[in-house]
Amino acid sequence: MQPFISATNISKRYGTTQALDNVSFEVGKDEIVGFIGADGAGKSTLFEIMTTLLIPDAGEGYINGMSIDRDYQKIRSCIGFMPGRFSLYQDLSVEENLRFYANIFGSSIQENYAMIEGIYTLLKPFGKRKAGALSGGMKQKLALCCALIHKPLALFLDEPTTGVDAVSRTEFWDNLIQIRDSGIPIVVSTPYMDEALRCDRVAMIHEGKIMDMDTPKEIIKAYKGCLLGIFTGERYLAKAIVYRLAGIESVYTFGDSVHINLPTCHPQIMKQIADSLKQGLSAEFQLRELNPSFEDCFLQLMGQAANER
Amino acid sequence: MRNIFLLISKEFKQIFRNRSMLAIIFALPIIQLLVLSNAADFELKKVNIAWEDMDKSALSTRLQDRFTASNIFELTSVSDSHQANDTLLQDGGADAVISITKGFERDLVNRIPFTIQVRINAVDGAAAGLISAYIGRIVSSFYTSDLLKVEERTNISTSRYLFNPELNYKTYMIPGILVILVTVIGLLLTSLNIAREKEIGTIEQMNVSPIKKHQFILGKLIPMLIIGIAEFWIGVLISRSVFHIPFLGNPLLQLLFLVVYLWVMLGIGLLISTKAQNQQQAMFISFFVMMVFIFLSGLFSAVENMPQWGQILSKLIPITYFIRSTRALMLKGAGLSTLYIDLIILSGYALVINLMAILAYRKTSQ
């Protein structure tokens, strides 16, 4: 079966910067696919190409069999796009924005109300308020409603949760899962690692290339070597001590601890590390093996990319 | 068609909610007409002169009385000191110093060419020219009526002023101010409005929708066209009721000129907005363009008095033709038979500039 959304060998260059380098991926009809990467990794460029705002230098893309190059008019009338920054009319009210977006797609609020009901009930009390006067989380909900109101075949959301509080983000993702279950595939980008876990599949993008693309579980499973954590008040000192030891793949501070990536967690090596820490640190510390988180996997992939160059 | 209508109604909703936009639209015509027409007034109302009489004769006193009697001139000082009068010129106490040389009466009576020295503050060259002309007129009328016998008075001409019999400067200025008004609306508001959509990112959202480029552009330009037309006629009403400026021409012909001219300005506004990334840039470029237009248009100074290069530039900017035709239409009641060239030129501009704008707009995105 043909995938619902596909891209093959897409490249785009801005001057001397290669924004996208031979990017290929596929998205099925029942999937939320997340693109994770640092700022400037090429996520927004990829979204703009897939939503027909930009023309790629090379490569092809298809949405439900329509080419992003030749059928761009058709695509524009049947996808929903939420650009990276809030871009609704701030001086129109919530209702007016929604009606306007429904109307330009030749639809109406009533016709597709079922589509947005779950999200819009929260917004309804603010129906007369100007979009510009909404809180960050409410703005995102309104933008999502506007992207959904014409019953699109697919949704493209470029960093929809940037600048939104943690509670609103969780609610937003609950909404996305409902939307997916109603049969609309979603392509979403995010800089937040915790959101990656809620995607069906994740593509890790770095300097215009997709480093890896798989389910979050598989990505964590593929973590190479073993992960040790040092819990101490003197994190930077601990990092400096471990850094000097031989055979250590990578060391980085991670919240309240220091993470060490080793080829294996042999007891002898652990003892060696513990001994050097005992010598160097004045405070108490704890050393134990950890299960890698998604972010550890991301950092490992980024580290590999840096070593390859 | 339906999409364009949707966009226009959205646009009007936004315009009527935007305070600064409303201020520009409604306060601008009133303020410009009432303030600018009074401020940009080149009529000489009162000229201070210092009188310096070295002759002190009966005739020189009679000439002095002539100046005192005139309602333009005011004798602020009568003194014999050349230096004191120079100081007056310098510190602004007098606009001109008239000095009568010794032997003035003797020369006059003997019909020998006589001299009067006039020193004028010429910082404002145009005003100085007028002062000089007024002084000359008083002196020559003094000469003909007080010295020449009736049979000697030949060659006296009278003149009658047409179209603006009271030589009211406002009659000349106001049609031009109306033109500036629609220029501001067409050019500044259009470029600001489109740049605003770029700035807040809504243009991206529009691009990923079934709305086509030309629909988006028309949805932006048509509201501005409507506002521009309304502005102009509000201005005409104010100028008729407040300043009693006549409107002699055919209103329909005026409307035709107005619409064609507005399309030129909307095109330039669109062109600017394709280059500008945000409202600030659009504002700066628009102001620059408008300044050039206004100064070269012949609004404040007659085109004929400009240097050669200025005259050529003046012929190259569309506003010149619209000011000329609006003046002719309003004040002289001119018809299409005399104005058709201006209409053709303006239409040409409308065509070329909009074509350029559309090409530039296309280039910026798919």
**CB burial class (10 A; 0-12, 13-18, 19+) of residue A214?**
middle
Residue B93 has pLDDT above 80, yes or no: yes
Q: Which chain A residues in 58-87 lie under 8 Å from chain B, judged by CB atoms?
A: 72-73, 76-77, 79, 81, 83, 85-87
Q: Which runs of consecutive H residues, i.e. helices, occur in B78-162?
A: 82-91, 104-109, 125-146
Closest to B11 in 3D by CA, of B180, B162, B143, B197? B197
Contact A89 B17 (CB under 8 A): no
**Nearest-CA distance A192 → chain B (Å):** 23
Tell me the chain A residues in contact with residue B3 when contact means C-beta distances shorter than 8 Å: 104
> Is the minimum CB–CB distance between A91 and chain B shorter than 8 Å?
yes
B163 found inside a domain: no
Chain B contact for A97 (CB, 8 A cutoff): no
CA dist A52 and A70 (Å) reads: 10
- Say if residues A132 and A94 touch (Cβ distance below 8 Å): no
Q: What is the mean pLDDT of residues B244-257?
A: 92
Total domains, chain B: 2
Rounded to an integer, the average pLDDT of B83-94 is: 86
**Same domain, yes or no, for B177 and B101?**
no
Looking at the predicted structure, is the pLDDT value of residue B282 above 90?
A: yes
Would you say residue B97 lies in a domain? yes
Q: Are residues B112 and B210 in the same domain?
A: no
Instruction: Classify residue B131: in a domain, yes or no.
Output: yes
Cβ atoms B177, B37 nearer than 8 A: yes
Strand pairing partners for A6?
Answer: A26, A62
CATH number at residue B93: 3.40.1710.10
Q: What is the distance between the alpha carbons of residues A183 and A175, in angstroms, rounded to a whole number?
A: 13
Q: Give A113-122 pLDDT, tens digit per residue.
A: 888 888 888 8
Chain A environment of B13 (Cβ under 8 Å):
92, 96
Pair (B225, B316) in one structural domain: yes
The pLDDT score that the predictor gives to residue B157 is 57
Query: Of the candidates B96, B124, B153, which is a domain's last residue?
Result: B153
| Chain B: residue whose CA lies nearest to A156 | B208
B33 and B131 within one domain: no
* DSSP states along B305-324: GS-HHHHHHHHHSHHHHHHH
CA-nearest residue of chain B to A89?
Answer: B202
B33 and B71 housed in the same domain: no
Q: Using the beta-carbon criterion (under 8 Å), do A86 and B201 form an inter-chain contact?
A: yes
Of A53, A54, A104, the CB nearest to B6: A104
B83 shares a domain with B26: no
Which residues of chain A make contact with B201, given a CB cutoff of 8 A? 83, 85-87
Q: What is the pLDDT of residue A37?
A: 87
In a domain, B159, yes or no: no
Query: B155 vs B89, B152, B158, CA distance in Å?
Result: 36, 10, 10
Spatial contact of B209 and A76, defined as CB atoms under 8 Å apart: yes
Chain B residues touching chain A at CB-CB below 8 Å: 2-3, 6-7, 10, 13-14, 17-18, 200-202, 204-205, 207-212, 365-366
Give yes or no: residues B254 and B177 share one domain: yes
Report the Cα A131 to chain-centroid distance in Å.
25
**Beta carbons of B261 and B223 less than 8 angstroms apart:** no
B366 pLDDT more than 60: no
Q: What is the pLDDT of residue B152?
A: 61
Q: Per the CB < 8 Å rule, is A103 touching B6?
A: yes
Rounded to 5°, angle at Cα A66 from A65 and A69: 140
Rounded CA-CA distance B316/B309 in Å is 11
Q: Look at residue B155 in the predicted model and tell me its pLDDT.
A: 55
Contacts of A251 (CB under 8 A, 6+ apart): A239, A242, A243, A258, A259, A260, A261
Between positions 151 and 170 of A, the ones with CB within 8 A of B are: none
Chain A hits for B17, Cβ within 8 Å:
91
pLDDT for res B80: 82
Least confident of A1-5, B7-11, B50-54: A1-5
User: Which residue among B97, B123, B153 closes a domain?
Assistant: B153
Distance from CA of B9 to the nearest CA of A (A): 10
Max CA distance (Å), chain B? 93
The Cα–Cα gap between A152 and A145 comes to 11
Of A72, A89, A104, nearest to B211 by CB-CB distance is A104
**What distance in Å separates residue A84's CA from the closest CA in chain B?**
9
Question: Mutate which of B13, B14, B15, B209 to test chain A, going by most A C-beta atoms within 10 A?
Answer: B209
Select from B79, B154, B17, B81 the least CA-distant residue to A131: B17
* B285-336 tens-digit pLDDT: 999 999 989 888 877 777 777 888 888 888 899 999 999 999 999 998 888 9
Amino acid at A101: Y
| Sequence-distant (≥ 6) Cβ neighbours of residue A230 within 8 angstroms | A238, A242, A257, A258, A260, A277, A285, A286, A287
- Is 90 exceeded by the pLDDT of residue B145? no
The band of A198, judged by pLDDT with boundaries at 50, 70 and 90, is very high
Is A54 part of the contact surface with chain B (CB cutoff 8 Å)? yes
CA distances, A277 to each of B104, B114, B359 (Å): 114, 113, 68
Kindly state the tokens that stand for B321.
Answer: 């033709």
CA B76 to chain centre: 32
* B365 located within any domain: no
Q: Using 50, 70 and 90 to split pLDDT, how confident is the model at B166? A: low
Residue-level pLDDT at A115: 85
- Give the pLDDT score at B38: 74
Q: What is the CA radius of gyration of chain A?
A: 23
pLDDT > 90: percent of chain B: 28
* Contact criterion met (CB < 8 Å) for A81 and B208: yes
pLDDT in tens, B189-207: 899 988 988 888 888 888 8
Closest-CA distance, A96 to chain B, in angstroms, reads 9
* A156 to chain B, closest Cα gap in Å: 11
Give the DSSP H/E element, type plus range, for residue A39. Answer: none
> Which residue, B94, B123, B153, sits at the end of a domain?
B153
**Number of Cβ within a 10 Å radius of residue A8:** 14
Scanning every residue of chain A, which has its alpha carbon at the shortest distance from the alpha carbon of B210? A77
Q: How far is CA B91 from the centre of its chain?
A: 30
Asked if pLDDT for residue B161 goes beyond 80, the answer is no
Kindly list the residues from chain A whose CB atom is less than 8 angstroms away from the CB atom of residue B200.
87, 89-90
Q: Which tens digits make up the pLDDT trace of A227-238?
A: 888 888 888 888
Residue A300 has pLDDT above 80, yes or no: yes
State if pTM tops 0.90. no
DSSP secondary structure of B203-259 = HHHHHTSS--HHHHHHHHHHHHHHHHHHHHHHHHHHHHHHH-----S-HHHHHHHHH
Query: B207 contacts in A (CB within 8 Å)?
Result: 53, 76
User: B365 to chain A: which residues are within 8 Å by CB?
Assistant: 53
Name every chain A residue with its beta carbon within 8 A of the beta carbon of B202. Answer: 87-89
CA distance A75 to A64: 9
pLDDT confidence bin for B159, thresholds 50/70/90: low
Q: Order of strands across the sheet with A201-206?
A: A79-82, A154-158, A186-190, A32-36, A201-206, A209-214
Q: Once rounded to an integer, what is the mean pLDDT over residues A163-168?
A: 86
Closest residue in A to B212 (Cα) is A73
Per the structure, the complete domain to which residue B98 belongs is given by 47-153
Higher-confidence residue of A8 and B33: namely A8
B18 to chain A: which residues are within 8 Å by CB? 91
- Are residues B149 and B173 both part of a single domain? no
A55 at B interface, C-beta within 8 A: yes
Which residues of chain B neighbour A149 with C-beta distances below 8 Å?
none
Mark yes or no for CB contact A76/B10 under 8 Å: no
- So what's the pLDDT on residue B89? 87
Q: Residue A187 has what pLDDT?
A: 96
**Spatial contact of B282 and B272, defined as CB atoms under 8 Å apart:** yes
CA A52 to each of CA A43, A49, A63, A66: distance values in angstroms, whole numbers, following the listed order: 14, 5, 11, 11
What integer pLDDT is reported at residue B41 of this predicted model? 64
Residue B172 shares a structural domain with residue B302: yes
At residue B93, φ and ψ (nearest 5 deg) are: -70, -25
Mean pLDDT of chain B: 85
Give the 3-state DSSP-derived string for A92-143, with helices as H, strands as E and coil as C. Answer: CEHHHHHHHHHHHCCCCCCCCHHHHHHHHHHHHHHCCCEHHHCCHHHHHHHH
Mean pLDDT to the nearest integer, B80-108: 87
Q: From the candidates A75, A103, A156, which should be mutated to test the interface with B, based on the most B CB atoms within 10 A?
A: A103
- Residue in A211, A193, A187, A188 with CA at minimum distance from that of residue A23: A211
Residues B295 and B331 in one domain: yes
A259 forms bridges with which residues in the sheet?
A229, A252
Residue B60: pLDDT over 90: no
B356-365 residue pLDDT tens: 988 887 765 5
B333 and B280 both lie in a single domain: yes
pLDDT at res. B150: 60
CA distance B14 to chain A (A): 6
Contact B173, B37 (CB under 8 A): yes
B185 and B284 both lie in a single domain:
yes
Say if residues B353 and B267 touch (Cβ distance below 8 Å). Answer: yes
- Which residues in chain A are closer than 8 Å to B210, comparing Cβ atoms? 73, 76-77, 104-106
Cβ–Cβ contacts within 10 Å for residue A244, how many? 10
Report the distance separating Cα A214 and Cα B17, nearest Å.
Answer: 49
Residue B194 with chain A: CB contacts under 8 Å: none
Contacts of B366 in chain A (CB under 8 A): 52-55, 72
Average pLDDT over residues B123-142: 83
pLDDT digits over A23-44, tens only?
999 999 999 999 998 888 889 9
Judged against a pLDDT cut of 90, whether residue B352 lies above it is answered with yes
| pLDDT single digits (tens) A116-158 | 888 888 888 998 999 999 988 889 899 999 999 999 999 999 9
